[in-house]
Structure 1
Amino acid sequence: MSKLDQKPLRVLTVPAGAGTSVWVYDDVDTLKATGEDTAGRMSLTETIVPPRGGPPPHVHANESESLYILEGDLEILGDDGRMVGVGPGGFVHFPQGVLHRFHNPTDEPSKILIIFTPAGFEEFFLEIGQPVVAGRPGPAVDAEYIARADEIGSRYGQTIRTESGGRS
């Protein structure tokens, strides 16, 4: 039994605007609930996806990822390899081990909730993420950043894939 499984569960309340905010890729990710908060059961991140933003195609070996779209529109990589549009109020579930991605194709930011089950992948966000500082831009998302994300992500069971399905 892990330490997290032994931790007593408690009610968690997180006010609006609270949580640790980091730049990951070109998104702003605010951790609302972590594995430490939920005894490892799940994590919840509020994410702002900028215009034309979103992570590259990737696979999670250890957890499933679900999205709930609060504002804006996203394109989701579907099972058939085509991008499918999802708007506010839409929900998407990416099972563990399935290639997926989300992308904001518009000129306006999108706001989503990301749920990982079980928890753990939020540690990737904290390791690669740079703290959000008001008035300062996020990191450049270039080939070097993607290579670093792939290397760090591999420690958390994530593999970044190219559009053709090969490892980046």
Structure 2
Amino acid sequence: MKLSQVDPHSRATMTFDWGAVKWFVQPGTTPGATLSFGEVVLNPGQGHDRHNHETAEEVLYVLSGAGEQMLDDQEPFTVHPGDVIHVPKGMFHATLNTGWAPMRLVAIYNPGGAEERALAQLPDFAEVPAGSVPTYVRPGG
């Protein structure tokens, strides 16, 4: 098996109304990978609406920012840097950035592949090519 060092600039960025995702390791782009590993950026006041992943479990690790996490349609709880959230396969969940700054999370899908393809089908999806930087528009600007 070929060993891989991933250059973040070699990967495209998925952008949405709520933020962006850059997948660093994925089946199909990283030799031998069966999971997906990436960074999610949630814009202030934005988040992922309630959804689930039928084919994969998800792990989220909060790098920066503050937010609320809902799991299994229960009351949301506060999350801060250093918190880890495990979302079992099929469980409904949502993440909301409640702070003034972008919220950054590491995301892992196991197995990877199908969930990223589903994200690319969302109506607000736009891809920023590898090596390019996403731009953000200030509200009212």
TM-score normalised according to structure 1 size: 0.68
1:54 aligns with 2:47: yes
**Percent of aligned pairs with the same amino acid:** 23
Residues 15 and 118 of structure 1: is their aligned pair in 2 closer, same or farther, counting only changes over 3 Å? same
1:131 aligns with 2:124: no
Higher relative contact order (CA 8 A, sep 6+): 2
User: How far 1:127 sits from its partner (Å)?
Assistant: 4.0
Match of 2:5 among 13, 37, 40: 13
Distance 1:43 1:118 in 2: 7
Q: Deviations over 1:51-72 (max 9, x none)?
A: 1111111111100111011111
Structure with the higher helix share, 1 or 2: 1
Residues 115 and 134 of structure 1: is their aligned pair in 2 closer, same or farther, counting only changes over 3 Å? closer
Matched-pair contact (CA < 8 Å) for 1:65–1:116: yes
1:85 match: 78
Equivalent residues, number: 129
Structure with the higher strand share, 1 or 2: 2
User: How far 1:75 sits from its partner (Å)?
Assistant: 0.9
Distance 1:89 1:125 in 2: 25
Residues 136 and 72 of structure 1: is their aligned pair in 2 closer, same or farther, counting only changes over 3 Å? closer
TM-score normalised according to structure 2 size: 0.80
Match of 1:96 among 89, 97, 107: 89
Q: How much is the aligned-residue C-alpha RMSD, in angstroms?
A: 2.1
